[in-house]
Amino acid sequence: MINVGIVGGTGYTGGELARLICNHPGMELKAMTSRGNAGKPVGSVHGYLKGYVDLEFKSSIEEDDGLDLVFLATPHGVSMEHVPYLLEMGLKVVDLSGDYRLDDEKMYSQWYGKGHDDKDNLTKAVYGLPELFRESIGKAQLVANPGCYPTASILALAPLFAADMVDGDVVIDAKSGTSGAGVKPTIRTHHPNCGETVIAYNSGKHRHQPEIDLILHKLGKGGNVYFSPHLVPIIRGILSSCYLNVKKKMTTEDLQELYTEFYSGERFVHVTEEGSIRDVVGSNHCQVAPLCMGGNKVAVFSSIDNLVKGASGQAVQCANIMCALPEGMGIDFPGLGV
């Protein structure tokens, strides 16, 4: 049994981690921390965990907690405060923030607006997208869990970049539910402001832009990636619509064959004929739907649950790999469907 802890347990991703781990046959949740709720029962903050998580929030992780692995569900800039001492304790760490996704200090400073305080571990962290970096994840002590938009977008485009099929620039039009903004309310996510509208925000300057670009260009050549996120009035889910030219004319059948071969054997990525958020909500699955739009013009639609495959489910998937457990253990179930 792998003993795990969660730092930052009061947010959506922290609660989702606890929901997945509390019935995980290979992991036992031993500790959850919260600076503001220390001493309170976890079930008093996350009502859906009553009867499943019999813990009180702690203020910090200690050596005598007897942990093997820690998930960091903290905001960017906070995780780097915890990682050094957790690694010194010999623990494996999966960080769900953006602190270790970019392997370049200058790039991190440019996009996150502050310097990085843990430069040594920044270059040692492994990017936690199992479908692309499974072997490295299995050897890692520190894994940087991908962002939700990057997960959907990279999985949509990876087969074409890896096959050197991309001709020129790529446009990504991605739409996310309001839970992606986190548990703390903002003016933008206040229901009267977002409940019956679609909001385009941070186009060209979203922090997930360099993450998407960095990973795709590690796979293969291509032009610039232009990423435009949108907020839609649903709670969970992302639909990433990607548009590009490829180097030769392809039919939809050609694309389906390419994608099916690339993701052959992957439990959590499925090649479909259309994109649907509803099919994946509540699950760790990603559906990708490549489509020829005529000649060499291609669209690829990718859908995930931003809190599961886009965050906590993928973090558990990475932890399973790091701990030599079956990759799908504790997260292998279908979406809600309705």
- Give me the CATH number covering residue 120: 3.40.50.720
Same domain, 158 and 94: no
Residue range 19-26: mean pLDDT, rounded: 98
Query: Range of 83's domain?
Result: 2-124
The single residue listed with the structure tokens 């890692």 is 140
pLDDT at 338: 85
Angle at 249 between CA 244 and CA 252, to 5 degrees: 75
Same domain, 177 and 260: yes
% of the chain with per-residue pLDDT over 70: 100
Q: What total number of domains does the chain contain?
A: 2
Q: What are phi and psi of 289, to 5 degrees?
A: -130, 100
Q: Does position 180 have pLDDT exceeding 90, yes or no?
A: no
Q: Which residues of 17-43 are buried (b: 16+ CB within 10 A; e: fewer)?
A: bbbbbbebebbebbbbbbeebeeeebb
Same domain, 118 and 156: no
Same domain, 111 and 169: no
Tell me whether residue 221 is in a domain.
yes
Tell me whether residue 300 is in a domain.
yes
pLDDT tens-place string over residues 204-246: 889 999 999 999 999 999 999 999 999 999 999 999 999 999 9
Alpha helices in 3-65 (DSSP H): 12-21, 42-45
pLDDT at 266: 98
Same domain, 64 and 177: no
Task: Identify the band that residue 182 occupies on the pLDDT scale cut at 50, 70 and 90.
Answer: confident
Tell me whether residue 313 is in a domain.
no
Q: Does position 297 have pLDDT exceeding 90, yes or no?
A: yes
CA 170 to chain centre: 21
> pTM of the full predicted structure?
0.96
Q: Is 249 exposed, middle or buried (0-12, 13-18, 19+ CB in 10 A)?
A: exposed
pLDDT at 11: 93
Give CA–CA dist 12/29, Å, rounded: 17
Same domain, 40 and 156: no
Same domain, 163 and 295: yes
Tell me whether residue 254 is in a domain.
yes
Q: Which residues of 192-203 are buried (b: 16+ CB within 10 A; e: fewer)?
A: eebeeeeeeeee
| Cβ contact 195:250 at 8 Å | no
pLDDT tens-place string over residues 50-98: 999 999 999 999 988 999 999 999 999 999 999 999 999 999 999 999 9
Tell me whether residue 314 is in a domain.
no
Same domain, 170 and 120: no
Instruction: Name, in order, each residue with C-beta under 8 angstroms of 121's C-beta and a sequence gap of 6 or more.
Output: 80, 83, 84, 87, 100, 142
Q: Does position 200 have pLDDT exceeding 80, yes or no?
A: yes
Same domain, 84 and 170: no
pLDDT tens-place string over residues 115-162: 999 999 999 999 999 999 999 999 999 999 999 999 999 999 999 999
Same domain, 179 and 217: yes
Task: Identify the band that residue 101 occupies on the pLDDT scale cut at 50, 70 and 90.
Answer: very high
| Cβ contact 56:33 at 8 Å | no
Among residues 91, 124, 157, the one where a domain terminates is: 124
- CATH of residue 274's domain is 3.30.360.10
Q: Does position 310 have pLDDT exceeding 90, yes or no?
A: yes
Same domain, 268 and 302: yes
| Cβ contact 43:29 at 8 Å | no
Tell me whether residue 317 is in a domain.
no
Q: Does position 2 have pLDDT exceeding 80, yes or no?
A: yes
Same domain, 165 and 251: yes
Q: Does position 171 have pLDDT exceeding 90, yes or no?
A: yes
Tell me whether residue 333 is in a domain.
no
pLDDT at 189: 83
Q: Which residues of 85-116 are buried (b: 16+ CB within 10 A; e: fewer)?
A: ebbeeebbbbbbbbbbbbbeeebbeebbeeeb
pLDDT at 284: 98
Tell me whether residue 138 is in a domain.
no
pLDDT at 210: 95
Catalytic residues: 148
